Structure 1
Amino acid sequence: MPKDLAARLDDRLRAKRESFDKIPVVDIAPLLDGSNKQRVAKEIRWALMNTGFMYVKNHGIPQDFVDSVFEVSRRFFDLPTWQKMALHIGKSDVALRGYIEPFGENTDPGKTKDLKECFDIGPECSTVEGPFFGPNQWPSSLPEFRELTYGYHQRMVDLAKKLLKGIALSLDLTESYFESLTRNPISIQRLLHYPPQSGYIGEDIIGIGAHTDYGNLTVLAQDDVGGLQVMNRDRIWVEGMPIYGTFIINIGDLIQRLTNDVYLANMHRVVNTSGRERYSIPFFIDADFNASIEPLPSCVTNSNPARYRPVTCGQHKFGRFAVSYTHLSKA
């Protein structure tokens, strides 16, 4: 890399390189095939209590299929700006489907502008039914885009529901606990592109600002570039380096609420100083729009009294999105 392209990070953006056991790797095959669900549940509990993040391997999604979605994502972001803007998320009203230009969404707006571009899809609907539910927008110049990305969304829904069974078991609940909350869940399949940054990089402009995710669960596929940073309990940023063949799983605000802070929805951000384009594919699954989330009785004790009032999933999530998109200010 030429010296003039080398990034010089503000000290507040430096991440400590830790061994991967700081973000544990969980083999979920025994959960999926039923051979040892409780062992996996125990590992999930440790991960979500201590880091809020984990890598999962042996998840059942073929790597060549994941690679094909990365490839079509790159091709989409290589399209001319006018073609991408024709699919702008603002045209989807409250359904929140389509393209988001650089700086078009800011997750930490008081501190950071997000140097990223995105494309969002969700469950296919014929008309706008309300927040997060409506028709997807599709690029006509990439006919394979729809089949690949929507097929990926559907596989992620299936995988996420299996992971939620493991989380339920980790909380000593029946594995079917989340089924009543996820009959028609809010879900977002996002494609992300992070341009590289060079020169001096401060907190005002980075790939994505520090945030927690809003819903239940995130399933993230990373390319090999790196840049994800996760804050540990000592408030040190730790690199979430890519591990081939794994997904990174993290929980969001709703699981932290449900567990009364027993499980941690951890702060994370992206700083791309690699000198390369970075692509990632996060999938977000929440609960049904009107599902009520409140602390589990088993997570409320004399030493840990209830910290949250009940909130509906849709109310919480839409409130978080409303501060990020200007077109929602009148919604």
Structure 2
Amino acid sequence: MGSNTGPYHLPVVSYADLEHNNPENRDKTAGEFTQALRDYGACRIRDHGIPQKGIDKCFERCRAFFERDASEKIADAERARSSPVGIKMARFVPYGAEKTRGEPHLEEVLQLRDAIFDVAADAALSMSPEAQDLIDSARDLHKACGSIHRPLLECLESSLSLSPSSLTGVHSRENSFFAPTYFAPCSREQELLRVPAHIDPTTLLFNFPDSHGGLKVADLRGISGTEKISATEVQHTAPFIDAGCQTGEFVVVAGNLLRKLLGDAGIKHAVHYVERPLGSSGFHLSYWTVPDMQTRVQFGGRCETVEEYLARVFPSTFKQGYS
């Protein structure tokens, strides 16, 4: 990895200021948010209004769900996959099952698509009490994140002088996801790196860390907004900084799809990894979105739909049954 060059953290903006009635105050904060995505592809958000007790409750229920036998967690996800809705609503990713350039992710993830919250509320899934409790606690967080997501896209539209609805118009609720992630205790120094440096195939991802944090983001200020950003190259050349997320904040991480939607606007996708303290266990909560599946985007001279792109770069999640 690139070396850390100092104790500095990601910029932070107040979501309350983005919602402010004073246009001057709102535009200033929107500009700061946009600049953070130009510099790092990421930004901390405070004053977001999501109750901390709801976040803490979700963390508590994560422990009850994840600290069970893997077969039980897989069975919960399979029940959701075979639901009458006809789409995959949940996917359990076992420890080490996903890889970045051959390196395993030392984590477990339960990926929940938006539709699961309505179906689970109707008691149609017959999942375990641990899974049901986790979904119940995630429901309000997912809804709150969805309410914040649209204004963040609107502030990018305004700050970049884009046509109204150019971003918001291609994002619908059904293409949003919530993913509790579990990091089991590690006992060897080489396991401190839990998730290798990578770029997310998303529009925006919200990361809510526990007290151990661990999210590291590349400082991309030395790269122009029109250059190709490779995680492989960046991890060896750019400094990485700790996100520095404090209680009452979350981190917005820009994905590859946002950069492609915005073209030459100078917004970067974040290159990031997760490193945890030796012997620690704990959780991250993630919310992310992708554009509507038939939205057309350009990738290195190739024009394809979002659905085709996701099936190509993230087949384990999107190749079958998510459209």
Give the TM-score category using the shorter length.
0.7 to 0.9
- Would you say the 8 A contact 2:203–2:290 is kept in 1? yes
* Whole-angstrom CA distance in 2 between matches of 1:24 and 1:113: 30
Kept in 1, the 8 Å contact 2:90–2:112? The answer is yes
| Aligned residue in 2 for 1:105 | 98
Change (3 A) 1:91 1:14: farther
191-200 or 308-317, which deviates more? 308-317
The gaps in structure 2 that reach 5 residues or longer are 118-123, 221-236
Tell me the CA shift for residue 326 of structure 1.
12
Shift, 1:196, TM fit: 3.2
CA 1:142/1:288 → structure 2, altered by over 3 Å: closer, same or farther? closer
Report the 3-state secondary structure (helix = DSSP H, G, I; strand = E; otherwise coil) of the residue aligned with 1:55. strand
Q: Which moved more, 1:70-79 or 1:177-186?
A: 177-186
Query: Is 2:312 the counterpart of 1:313?
Result: no
State the partner residue of 2:242: 239
Identify which of 57, 61, 81 aligns with 2:50: 61
SS state at 2:167 partner:
helix
Amino acid at match of 1:213: D
Mapped partners of 2:308, 2:319: distance in 1: 17
Structure 1 unpaired stretches of 5+:
1-11, 127-134, 296-306
Could you tell me which amino acid in structure 2 is paired with residue 226 of structure 1? G
Structure-2 separation of matches of 1:176 and 1:327:
28
The whole-number CA distance in structure 1 between the counterparts of 2:219 and 2:174 is: 29
Residue in 1 that maps onto 2:216: 229
The residue that corresponds to 1:39 in the other structure is 28
Residue aligning to 1:191: 180
Distance 2:158 2:33 in 1: 9
- Find the counterpart in structure 1 of residue 148 from structure 2: 159
1:170 paired to 2:164:
no
Aligned-pair CA distance for 1:275: 2.1
Give aligned pairs, total. Answer: 294
* More divergent stretch after superposition (91-100 vs 52-61): 91-100
| In structure 2, distance between residues paired with 1:89 and 1:15 | 42
TM-score by length of 1: 0.78
Give 1:111 shift.
3.5
Shift, 1:34, TM fit: 3.4
What amino acid is aligned across from residue 284 of structure 1 in structure 2?
A: W
Residue pair 2:184, 2:281 contacting (<8 A) in 1 also: yes
User: Aligned partners of 1:235, 1:179: CA distance in 2, in Å?
Assistant: 32
Q: Cα distance, 1:256 vs. partner?
A: 1.0
CA contact (8 A) 1:290 1:312 kept: yes
Alignment RMSD (CA, Å): 3.1
